[in-house]
Amino acid sequence: MMHLPRLSRAERERRWRRVREEMAARDLDALVVVGNDAFFNMGMANFRYLTHIGAPHGNCACVFPLEGEPIVYQAPPHMSYPFNFHRVAQEWVSDIRPFQGAPAVAAGLRELGLHESRVGIVGFASALASNMIPHAILAGLEEALPEARISEQTDLVERQRVVKSGEELAMLSEAGRLARRTILRLCEVAEPGIAECEVSAAMAYEQVANGGDPHLFNLMTSGPVEGDPHVWHLVHGVEQQTRRPLSEGDLIVCEFHASYCGYLAAAEFSLYLGDPPRELERIHEVAVECLRAYTQVMRPGLALREVWQAVRRPCAVYGLDFLELGFHGHGLASPEWPTVVYKEGSGPLGGDGMGDIVLEENMVFGINIDIFDPTWKQNVGVQLGDTVVVTPSGGRFLVETPVDVFAKRGAP
């Protein structure tokens, strides 16, 4: 399958070795890694990390032993005849069987002589999604394998994904390229009279037509800055785009992902149709200043507290406020660990307990800058963001979100 992006066998060996070292440290004989299409398909992240199989079809699972080859359960029987497509789409795993629930997975563990062993079950979790381990899988395994000692071990794989390899960075760079194209397409298509949903569709088309995954995540909305504040929600985008035609004087705000080989590049962007009010231009200027701060502070050795204080400083200096102003891990899912987007004292999303965590080279973060002026309008703001790699010389942007394009002036 030369027309699909692939990770190398060397990358597979790197991941499997690190995961198995941690399994041995935790005294585990096997993992059962489950995946599904929950949370914008990001429920596949840990399954995909170990198998290189990313296309969801309901539930899937992988029996990953401490030694030997894994068994993968993916897709129903009719998607597995005459063979499973993923046998030729990757070269990491070869034993791919139809997914038929916990009994089949339990049978695989018995086949490998692991039915009385220590088994860790791995789902998917993030700061926005509670741990996704289907009850039917866990209960079914416990019933079918009463002698096994089953424990929850989702964090075992999650933490392996924090620092990216060179191959992962290459995939993220391709995703970043797609994200930039998506922004430029938004700027080209958005005109008075064009429906909001048409703009969203053009953004999605730009990604898939240029080799991206058919991953749809676009929190976008639009509306008049001078409209009824109880109707228009222009501080952050929303999940559903409408048939409403755009008009001059509209602000468009969005947060989206572009996906390549499962790796997600995050971007946030705002566009005004016409000549924006000075108050709105000022908010955008402050957002750009916050964005540029990341290039200075995303360096190995800096504590997360130092980073979030630095990138929030312009917002505070100019008397603005924010919904989100921070960063979170990015890769096969979003948000990944660590996540700091809310104000301190706001729980996990506020970075509580994370201030002393130190950046490492090749960590990757999605940037959230969602700011507004509470003395002007509380329902109108600017979204601006990128995906940044931690390097010794500072943050390197993968999307290179345009900061000099905010107003599409002279709209007919």
CATH number at residue 183: 3.90.230.10
If 0-12 CB within 10 Å is exposed, 13-18 middle and 19+ buried, where does residue 372 land?
buried
Domain co-membership, 193 together with 282:
yes
pLDDT confidence of 84, banded at 50, 70, 90?
confident
Arithmetic mean of pLDDT over the chain: 95
Full-model pTM: 0.96
Res 88 pLDDT > 90: no
220 and 319 both lie in a single domain: yes
Q: Which helix (H) or strand (E) holds 49?
A: helix 45-51
Domain boundary among the residues 161, 189, 214 is at 161
Query: What is residue 410's predicted lDDT score, i.e. its pLDDT?
Result: 67
- Would residue 368 count as lying in a domain? yes
Residue-level pLDDT at 235: 95
Residue at 3 is within a domain: no
Domain boundary, last residue among 95, 128, 161:
161
In-domain check, residue 2: no
**Is residue 411 scored above 60 in pLDDT?**
no
Sign of dihedral through CA atoms 113, 89, 176, 362?
positive
Count how many Cα atoms sit within 13 Å of the Cα of residue 236 in the half-sphere of its side chain.
10
Q: How many domains does the chain divide into? A: 2
Same domain assignment for residues 131 and 180: no
Q: Is residue 201 included in any domain, yes or no?
A: yes
Residues written for the chain: 412
- Look at residue 1 and tell me if it is in a domain: no
- Domain end position, chosen among 161, 180, 211: 161
* Sequence-separated (6 or more) residues with CB below 8 Å from residue 156: 19, 22, 23, 26, 28, 31, 120, 122
133 and 172 co-located in one domain: no
Q: Are residues 205 and 299 in the same domain?
A: yes
Per-residue model confidence as pLDDT tens digits over 53-71: 987 667 899 999 999 999 9
Shared domain for 156 and 219, answered yes or no, is no
**DSSP code per residue over 96-164:** EE----HHHHHHHHHHTT-TTSEEEEE---BTTB-----HHHHHHHHHH-TTSEEEE-HHHHHGGGSBP
What percentage of the chain's residues is helix, strand, coil (to nearest 5)?
35, 25, 40
Q: 104: which 2 tokens?
A: 């089949």
CATH of the domain at 64: 3.40.350.10
Domain holding 113, by residue range, is: 9-161
**Considering only 56-65, 279-288, 397-406, which range has the smallest mean pLDDT?**
56-65
My answer on whether 232 and 266 are in the same domain is yes
What's CA 27's distance to the chain center, in Å?
31
Same domain, yes or no: 145 and 183: no
Question: Quick one: 207 and 151 in the same domain?
Answer: no
Domain shared by 74 and 29, yes or no? yes
pLDDT tens digits for 259-278?
Answer: 999 999 999 999 999 999 99
Residues 402 and 296 grouped into a single domain: yes
Together in a domain, 208 and 142: no
Percent of the chain with pLDDT over 70: 98
Residue 205 lies in a domain: yes
* Model confidence band, residue 371 (pLDDT cutoffs 50, 70, 90): very high
**What percent of the chain clears pLDDT 90, i.e. is strictly above it?**
87
The pLDDT-based confidence of 412 (bands split at 50, 70, 90) is: very low
pLDDT tens column, 220-244: 999 999 988 889 999 999 999 999 9
